[in-house]
Amino acid sequence: MQTTKQWKVDLSISTEHPAILEAAELLQKEQVIAFPTETVYGLGANASNERAVSKIFEAKGRPSDNPLIVHVANAEQINHYVTTIPEVAKQLIEAFMPGPLTIILPSNGTIAQTVTAGLSTIAIRIPDHPVAQALLKATQLPLAAPSANRSGRPSPTTAAHVHNDLDGRIAGILDAGPTGVGVESTVVDCTSEVPTILRPGGITLEQLEQVVGAVNVDPALLEGQLQPKSPGMKYNHYQPEVPLWLIDGDEVFMQSEIDKAKKQGNKVGAIISNELAQFVSADHVRVCGSRQNLSEVAVHLYDALRAFHKSDVDIIFCETFPQTGIGQAIMNRLTKAATSIIKQ
């Protein structure tokens, strides 16, 4: 166990802020620091240092064959870590970075081997968050940073989520309040001729297509039984404390499933939209936003998954969402988090 420092900071922070200087110094000393990005909180370490990176895997309990995203301050720095930047990647960088996009490029091998898990490619992202930016500029280091949760748990969108999972296991947490997007970055493989989405996220398929034309989606995302190309996609993920079931149907169907489970002696939690809220009752209800505004649902999704505890409920039922726009990322995460889906 170590003491985990917590610094409350605001969004107007500069690189000279004492919290940033202290966090930067700890990162230089091979320590691990959680920091906010626009998507979720990340768990950062010096990506050029094997010992520092290994502490991320240790703190999270993360399998070592699951590579990490390297965070850099600006587009120019990407050149230091790759052999080439294909034209399509240049277009994506120009359009979406900084922002919730991660691109996979051919690695030039300068980053620690543990970061790329021995792959010949590297995942790179430029976070669009003032605290992440201040930290990157103050350290002048590339920061390897997965989401700052214990492996298998929902990603953290607040410092409290990070604290619950990692207190005593990391050197510090920079707390700048809840994150903006709520789901992680979109991971796009730019090493193939047509760029391929390996993980849906904050930048939508539609947005990518507008900039580069054709975009493929990793078939493993559509057919769950295939081996996904992104190593992290095959593990259990995003799981709440109690089983989560997806209910694919209207409000009457949702209520009848809740009532059935209650009759069997279960305490039932429900994660539902504003639209269903007036029709559905359960032992604990979490309303996560409007079906008309899926960005709002994304913002509240992980907090909702973390809101239910064994002491309160035996099972959670959650409605399904349309797979358009950011709905693809929402349904990707919910499908991974769920133990089953019941269709009307």
Backbone angles phi, psi at 298, to 5 degrees: -60, -45
60 forms part of the interface with ligand TXA (CB under 6 A) = no
Q: Which is nearer to Mg ion, 25 or 65 (CB)?
A: 65
156 forms part of the interface with ligand TXA (CB under 6 A) = no
147 forms part of the interface with Mg ion (CB under 5 A) = yes
12 contacts 156 by C-beta, under 8 angstroms: no
HSE-up of residue 55 (Cα within 13 Å, Cβ side): 26
Q: Which of residues 167-186 bind ligand TXA (CB under 6 A)?
A: 184-185
**Among the residue ranges 14-22, 25-33, 230-238, 304-312, the one whose residues contact ligand TXA (CB under 6 A):** 230-238
Q: Which does 270 bind (CB under 5 to 8 A by kind): Mg ion, ligand TXA, none?
A: none
**Among the residue ranges 10-18, 76-84, 118-126, 289-297, the one whose residues contact ligand TXA (CB under 6 A):** 118-126
One symbol per residue from 197 to 216: x for binding ligand TXA (CB under 6 A), - otherwise; what is it?
-xx-----------------
Residue of 24, 32, 47, 67 interacting with ligand TXA (CB under 6 A): 67
Q: Which of residues 273-292 bind ligand TXA (CB under 6 A)?
A: none
158 forms part of the interface with Mg ion (CB under 5 A) = no
Residue of 142, 156, 172, 232 interacting with ligand TXA (CB under 6 A): 232
Place of tokens 């989606």: 217
336 contacts 232 by C-beta, under 8 angstroms: no
Q: Which is nearer to Mg ion, 147 or 332 (CB)?
A: 147
**Rounded distance, CA 316 to CA 335, Å?**
13
Q: Which of residues 14-43 bind ligand TXA (CB under 6 A)?
A: 37, 39-40, 42
The nearest distance, CB 19 to Mg ion, in angstroms, is 24
Structure tokens at 213: 């034309």
Residue type at 115? V
- Interface size with Mg ion, residues (CB under 5 A): 1
Residue of 145, 208, 280, 329 interacting with ligand TXA (CB under 6 A): 145
Note the residues at the interface with Mg ion (CB under 5 A). Answer: 147
